[in-house]
Amino acid sequence: MDTVVHYVGISGSTLPVERFDLGHGVSMRRTYAHLMSPCLMAFASAQEGKPHPAPWRAARGGLSFDITIELRIDDGRKPGGFDAVETASWIVALLRLGFAPYLTAPVTIDMPFSDAAQSGVEPTITPLEIQDRNFFRSEERSDEIPLGELDWLKATWHSSAELAQAHPQLLTAVLAWDSCRVRTRISQLVLTIWGALEHLFAPSSGELRHRVAANIAAYLEPRGPERLVTYKQIMKLYNARSAAAHTTKEIDRSVMIESWVILRNALVKMISEHQVPSQSDFEHLLYADVSSPAGPAHRSVDVTGDGTVVAPVASER
């Protein structure tokens, strides 16, 4: 029986090598395809089994992507109970989380992109991620994914999928963070991000505002002045989250970006350490941890008001 192979096109970055093996039957390689989907209109109903009658007219609009990376996923058991498409989505989400939030995976295809040009069979292309985006790469930032980030992806994608299966709140949080790449109302994005943070950092009942802020600050910063600064920042953001939930007040985009960065840094730490903290872990950090202050574990994401990413987002691994 032939082995089924799934191919996913990735747009927004390039590989530093011709091919990179991610292990477990998954690999990435360089490719190129320009996907075009123009708008075409007909003006009369079609009869069953027949095309719409003329006239047809091209219209302004549509979408296009330069596909520069091909993700190959061999058939077989995948971690986390994922199928092939879910595995691809998880890997691309981790790429965005670790390095490039502006990456997109517009389509899947049933053959390598390089074969589609000469194939005697028309390729089947299925849309995957074609929505309007929130984040964009600046011209000053290299479009090449560093080898170090690919090594991190290789070391973590399989184990993190298993971790997400064991801790559903991690899967929910990663999907919530990743969904913020899609352009929608700022208040909706803020509520999505803070719903994920509450899911991760309020494992027991209690006064949510203080508990969530204290747990996040203790998790991201060692004991010392920086933890207090982070705690106050989170309290301020949480107040904005409450305004988004309970009022019609316009929410500033910076609230979404700062909240998004906090969730991102927490997720990278959990995935890198292969551990989702429990209530007892938070209690230890808050009341028993006597470790000396150290530098922050993660660099911030530098994002402009229009969503352009202008600085590296990788953690200090």
Strand order across the 104-109 sheet: 19-23, 26-42, 56-74, 5-11, 104-109, 125-127
8 bridge partner residues: 71, 108
pTM recorded for the entire structure: 0.83
Q: Is residue 222 part of a domain?
A: yes
Residues 190 and 265 placed together within one structural domain of the fold: yes
Residues 92 and 11 placed together within one structural domain of the fold: yes
Residues 267 and 199 placed together within one structural domain of the fold: yes
Distance CA 111, CA 113 (A): 6
Question: What DSSP designation does 44 have?
Answer: S
User: CA Rg, the chain, in Å?
Assistant: 22
Residue 228 is part of which domain span? 169-309
Cβ atoms of residues 290 and 282 within 8 Å: no
Residues 143 and 9 placed together within one structural domain of the fold: yes
Residues 117 and 196 placed together within one structural domain of the fold: no
Q: Report the number of distinct structural domains present in the chain.
A: 2
Give me the tens of pLDDT residue by residue for the chain, a chain 317 residues long: 345 789 999 999 999 999 999 999 999 999 999 998 888 899 999 999 899 999 999 888 888 899 999 999 998 788 888 998 899 999 999 999 998 899 999 999 999 999 998 999 999 999 998 888 888 888 888 889 999 999 999 999 999 999 999 999 999 999 999 999 888 888 899 999 999 999 999 866 556 788 889 999 999 999 999 999 999 999 999 888 877 777 667 788 889 899 999 999 999 999 999 999 998 999 899 888 776 544 444 445 566 656 666 554 544 34
137 bridge partner residues: 309
